[in-house]
């Protein structure tokens, strides 16, 4: 993965269950899918969201079916379920089970973001930053990145660092870029780790520290970030050539 001008949107990962105790009791007689389907058909929005995920992932005895995943996410979202709203935004964003429509993605991300869901706030901010489905607005992007980042969302923290480094929607501030990249990196976000390596390697918001740069490049390289692999290789080659220069 190359990450030049790379902004991260979250596509998946959230999953909700209704209640573990009745679920465990019911599972003695029914499969997981059957249990949630019964609840979903009775109108439970959380169960509808769960069924949507089963179809999206192809889990619990059902084949992947993006159209059915979209159908159940719609039922959940229309009942104001925040996770259903987020999934509907994702479906429209990527065209999963429905014709791709960035404006609809923004509409549903906005609903979920206003309910405080960090994933939706991050994705909504990215739409504003890129001008996808909404008029480009860097300042509005920063507003939503901050909301998600302050909840500990590692991708939003990386994206906010990107904004501060490049002066998108905020006054350019390398020190703040470093702070947010570090928060992201410490949570294991690979692009955040790479950019923290860049901060140490190039003195972005922090004094140059080659050993720290190598440390964070390595962490990102371990997660298959190509730019980090290249940066690490370049540093190692530079260190190997240094003794030869001194000998001359």
SS (H, E, C) 190-226: HHHHHHHHHHHHHCCCCCCCHHHHHHHHHHHHCCCCH
Q: How far apart are CA 140 and CA 127, in angstroms?
A: 10
Which tokens sit at 69?
């995943």
Q: How far apart are CA 216 and CA 212, in angstroms?
A: 6
Residue 183's pLDDT is 98
Distances (CA, A) of 186 to 7, 103, 115, 147, 239: 18, 34, 27, 19, 26
Q: How far apart are CA 240 and CA 155, in angstroms?
A: 35
Residues 6+ apart with CB under 8 A from 85: 76, 77, 108, 109, 111, 112, 115, 117, 120
Average pLDDT, integer, range 13-28: 46
Residue 28's pLDDT is 56
Residue 245 scores a pLDDT above 60: no
172-182 pLDDT tens trace: 999 999 999 99
117-131 pLDDT tens trace: 999 999 999 999 999
131-142 pLDDT tens trace: 999 999 999 999
Q: Per mean pLDDT, which of 8-12, 102-106, 239-243 is the most reliable?
A: 102-106
Position 2 confidence tier, pLDDT thresholds 50, 70, 90: very low
Residue 198 scores a pLDDT above 50: yes
Residue 13's pLDDT is 44
Kindly report the backbone phi and psi dihedral angles of residue 85, in degrees, each rounded to the nearest multiple of 5, phi listed first: -65, -45
Residue 71's pLDDT is 98
Residues 6+ apart with CB under 8 A from 213: 197, 198, 200, 201, 231, 235
The backbone region for 65, taken as left when phi is positive above 0, alpha when psi lies in -120 to 50, beta otherwise, is beta
Position 146 confidence tier, pLDDT thresholds 50, 70, 90: very high
Average pLDDT, the chain: 89
Residue 237's pLDDT is 87
Look at residue 140 and give its three-state secondary structure: helix
Q: What is the pTM assigned to this prediction?
A: 0.87
Residue 7's pLDDT is 56
């Amino acid at each position: 993965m190359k990450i030049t001008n790379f902004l991260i949107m979250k596509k998946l990962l959230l999953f909700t269950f209704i209640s573990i105790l009745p679920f465990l009791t019911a599972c003695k007689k029914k499969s997981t899918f059957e249990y949630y389907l019964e609840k979903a058909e009775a109108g439970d929005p959380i169960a509808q969201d769960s069924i949507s995920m089963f179809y999206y992932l192809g889990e619990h005895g059902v084949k992947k079916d993006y159209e059915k995943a979209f159908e159940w996410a719609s039922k959940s979202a229309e009942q104001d379920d925040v996770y259903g709203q987020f999934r509907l935004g994702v479906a429209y964003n990527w065209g999963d089970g429905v014709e791709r429509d960035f404006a609809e993605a923004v509409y549903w991300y906005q609903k979920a973001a206003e309910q405080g869901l960090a994933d939706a706030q991050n994705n909504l901010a990215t739409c504003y930053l890129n001008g996808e489905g909404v008029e480009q607005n860097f300042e509005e992007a920063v507003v939503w990145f901050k909301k998600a980042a302050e909840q500990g969302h590692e991708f939003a923290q990386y994206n906010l660092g990107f904004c501060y480094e490049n002066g998108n929607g905020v006054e350019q501030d390398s020190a703040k870029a470093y702070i947010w990249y570090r928060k992201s990196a410490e949570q294991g976000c690979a692009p955040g780790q790479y950019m923290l390596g860049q901060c140490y390697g190039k003195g972005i918001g922090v004094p140059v520290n080659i050993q720290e740069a190598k440390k964070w490049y390595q962490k990102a390289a371990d997660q298959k970030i190509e730019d980090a692999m290249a940066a690490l290789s370049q540093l190692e080659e530079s260190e190997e050539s240094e003794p030869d220069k001194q000998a001359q």
